[in-house]
Structure formats: C-alpha cells, structure tokens
Amino acid sequence: MEELLPGVRSLLAVGLNYYVDAERAPGALKVARYGWGRDYHRVIDGRLRRLGRWLEERKPGVRWRACVDSAPLMDKAWAEQAGLGWIGKHGNLIHRQRGSWLLLGHLLTSLPLPADQPGRPLCGRCSRCIPACPTGAITEPFVVDSRRCIAFHTIENREADLPAEIASRLEGWVAGCDICQDVCPWNQQPLQSTADPELQPRAWLLELQPHQALGWSESDWDERLRASALRRLKPWMWRRNIQAAGSAASPEAGP
C-alpha cells in the first residue's frame, strides 16, 4: 500500500449494497447485477473522495487516496481484514445482513485509525456454489479459475469466438454471471433492496431480448451503455455473447 500512498497508516473499507429486488422479463438474456445501474467505479470513487475531503477538513495535512477495484489492491482481502465480511468459497465477500451483493471501495489515509476485528468465515460446510457453476470455474473452495469463468469470458475475452466449453454453458448469461451468488444461502435471506438512485436497473437490461439487441447499431449500444460499467464490453462482444447464448439455448437438430 505504501506505493499507492506513501506514509499510509490506515485503510477504511466500504461496501455499497447493490441488491435491487427486481426480476428479468421472461426470456430475457442475463446481465450481472453489478452492471444494472450506473458505473459503480464512479459512484464509489466520488463518495470516497467526499469522505477524504471531509477528513482533510478536520485533520489538516492528512493525506488520503480513494481506491476502487482498478487500483492494484487486494480489495476483498483487505475488506475481510477490516471486518466488512468474509471471503466465501465462491471468492466473493459476504456480509451477514447484505449477503455478497456488495461493491467494494477503500480509502487509504496517513491518519492512524483504530482497527476493527477481521471478518470471521461463516460458510461452514456449505459448498452450494461449487457444483452450481456450469463451467466448473470454482475448482476448489476459495479458488476460481478465470479460464473457466463465464464472467471473465463474457467481459474480458477479446477473441472473436468464446471457447466452445464456455459458449455451450452460458445458460443465458451475456455480461457477467451471478450463478454462484444466486445459490448462496446468505443471499437467500430477506435482503434490503437498495433505494440508491445510482444503482437502479436500466429497464433494457432486464428486458434484453436477443432478436432486438442483435439489430442495435454501434450508436445504439453507446447510448444505452452511457455511464455504465458494462462499457468495457464493445458492441461486437455483446453480439458475440448474445449469439453464443442463443446457440447454446437452441436444441440440436434431429436426424
């Protein structure tokens, strides 16, 4: 952390609840929940910066730096160390009341702050997330192989075609994947649906139909993905993923 903020003495971990009690339309393609609203990098970064400025006003001379996801920081490990939750067997941070629907951010500061107790693992013997992954990406508890992960391939893979073993098991996912979180018992409890306007779903993401989306132009995609974390996917990647998901869902022709 010293390379990110010389003289750093403390790390403040924050979690933004992004669970929204909403359902996809029947037959809609699937997009991971984190991408439903506004780009969380911008949302969390802006709020952490306000916190940093507030801290600076009260402690003149204190230094700080906001870090969200893209900084070279082990965000989940530090969030667990700070007591925000524990890392589950699916590799996501889990909070007792919020489940794993948390977007993480950190504020580094030169101000010494009292430490909280680290998060205590509460997965116990549960391993529902491991067999639930259709591509076997969770190779063992706490180990996720990105080479088998639907989320990785639909968002980060820049090849013209997805690997056959991934494409055939998309189960409708075209941008990210929430399967391992959906089956987690900590996400089955009654959860508070966020009222944060920045995190409310864009209607089209819940109604994404392949026959419509495949006809969208580059400018259509640009307009719909404005200020979205899903801008990481280029229009051709959306089309690739949608076509692969549609092929995987189509029954094989008979003799």
Please list the active-site residues: 69
Q: Per residue in 175-184, is it b (16+ CB within 10 Å) or e — as a string? A: bbbbbbbebb
How many angstroms separate the most distant Cα atoms in the chain? 77
The whole-angstrom separation of Cα 45 and Cα 244 is 34
Q: Dihedral of CA 71/74/75/78: which sign? A: negative
The whole-angstrom separation of Cα 81 and Cα 223 is 40
User: Which tokens in the block code for residue 112?
Assistant: 């010494």
Are 91 and 74 contacting, i.e. CB atoms less than 8 angstroms apart? no
Quickly count: other Cβ atoms within 10 Å of residue 140's Cβ: 10
Are 58 and 99 contacting, i.e. CB atoms less than 8 angstroms apart? no
User: Which tokens in the block code for residue 171?
Assistant: 């189960």
Q: Per residue in 144-165, is it b (16+ CB within 10 Å) or e — as a string? A: beeebbbbbbbbebeeeebeee
